[in-house]
């Protein structure tokens, strides 16, 4: 079971350079086993081409290494805070992908300007507040996770599975590591399209709410009908 999770996390990490979401050894993907309350995460500073499934580090929700001979990613406490705060999240991805990071650096949320965005995110992708000097001098990575959780105090994290950390970059999440990476990819695409749209029309209004909701709900709502119908269990 945990070997399976480590394998999944390893594979999802390899998608980051493949999909041009990261350079060098930047970025990290983790997965969460809710039964055992353990996080599997990329080790710190290992180049992607050298990364092996057995290098993936297992930590508990206190950040203690449970299995692995390498140090976990320096962003591990941020991932842990997100797993602690958001129910149902089984994978997290962090990358400094270019266009999403541009919005994070501008401290601007990504507005929902079209249905590509609405299919994935049920509203603008929020940006956190800036960390205070005390928060940065203290437990910086854990505090990053805490301001993310705080930003979602009135947002359902599974309906908007991404955040921009002010002056830093995006974190995305999903039911598993694969989904978190897929969301990072779509986030990058919608950030790029939003920037292009705002370039053509600086005053472009957001997509009307009735179109946004319709698009989001046909994929994610209780009556979702996008894609192929699932076969009945007994069929
Ligand atoms: Zn980062």
Q: What is the pLDDT along the chain (235 residues), one digit of tens a residue?
A: 688 999 999 999 999 999 988 877 789 999 999 999 999 999 998 999 999 999 999 999 999 999 999 999 999 999 999 999 999 999 999 999 999 999 999 999 999 999 999 999 999 999 999 999 999 999 999 999 999 999 999 999 999 999 999 999 999 999 999 999 999 999 999 999 999 999 999 999 999 899 888 888 887 877 777 777 654 444 4
Predicted local confidence at residue 227, as pLDDT: 73
Give the C-alpha separation, 103 to 33, whole Å: 32
- Ligand 1 midpoint to CA 183 (Å): 17
- Ligand 1 midpoint to CA 178 (Å): 19
- CB neighbours (10 Å) of residue 206? 15
Predicted local confidence at residue 96, as pLDDT: 94
Predicted local confidence at residue 218, as pLDDT: 83
Give the C-alpha separation, 42 to 98, whole Å: 21
The sign of the torsion formed by the CA atoms of 94, 96, 100, 106 equals positive
- Ligand 1 midpoint to CA 213 (Å): 31
Q: Where are the alpha helices (DSSP H) in the chain?
A: 2-18, 76-85, 98-105, 115-120, 133-137, 140-151, 177-200, 209-220
From edge to edge, which strands make up the β-sheet containing 65-67? 65-67, 57-60, 38-41, 28-33, 91-94, 169-174, 162-165
- Ligand 1 midpoint to CA 169 (Å): 6
The rounded percent of the chain whose pLDDT value lies above 90 is: 82
Catalytic amino acids? 119, 226
Cβ-based burial of 34 (10 A; exposed 0-12, middle 13-18, buried ≥19) = exposed
> In degrees, to the nearest 5, what angle opens at C-alpha 144 toward C-alphas 138 and 146?
95
Predicted local confidence at residue 53, as pLDDT: 95
Q: Is 167 left (phi over 0), alpha (psi -120 to 50) or beta?
A: left
- Ligand 1 midpoint to CA 95 (Å): 6
**Beta carbons of 130 and 107 less than 8 angstroms apart:** yes
- Ligand 1 midpoint to CA 129 (Å): 16
- Ligand 1 midpoint to CA 232 (Å): 42
- Beta-strand pair 169-174/162-165: antiparallel
Q: What is the pTM of this model?
A: 0.92
């Amino acid at each position: 079971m945990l070997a399976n999770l480590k394998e999944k996390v390893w594979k999802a990490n390899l998608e980051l350079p493949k999909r041009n979401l990261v350079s060098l050894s930047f970025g990290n993907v983790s997965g969460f086993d809710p039964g055992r309350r353990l996080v599997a995460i990329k080790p710190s500073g290992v180049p992607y081409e050298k990364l092996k499934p057995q290098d993936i580090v297992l930590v508990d929700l206190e950040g203690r290494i449970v299995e692995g001979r390498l140090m976990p990613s320096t962003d591990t406490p941020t991932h842990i805070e997100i797993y602690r705060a958001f129910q149902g999240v089984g994978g997290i991805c962090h990358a400094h992908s270019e266009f999403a990071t541009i919005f994070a650096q501008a401290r601007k949320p990504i507005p929902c300007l079209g249905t590509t965005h609405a299919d994935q995110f049920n509203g603008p992708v929020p940006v956190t507040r800036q960390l205070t000097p005390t928060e940065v001098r203290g437990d910086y990575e854990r505090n990053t996770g805490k301001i993310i959780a705080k930003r979602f105090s009135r947002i359902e994290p599974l309906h908007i599975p991404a955040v921009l950390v002010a002056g830093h970059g995006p974190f995305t999440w999903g039911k598993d590591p694969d989904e978190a990476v897929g969301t990072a990819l779509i986030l990058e695409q919608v950030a790029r399209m939003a920037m292009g749209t705002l370039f053509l029309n600086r005053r472009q209004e957001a997509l009307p709410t009735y179109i946004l909701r319709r698009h989001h709900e046909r994929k994610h709502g209780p009556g979702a009908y996008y894609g192929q119908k699932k076969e009945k269990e007994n069929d």
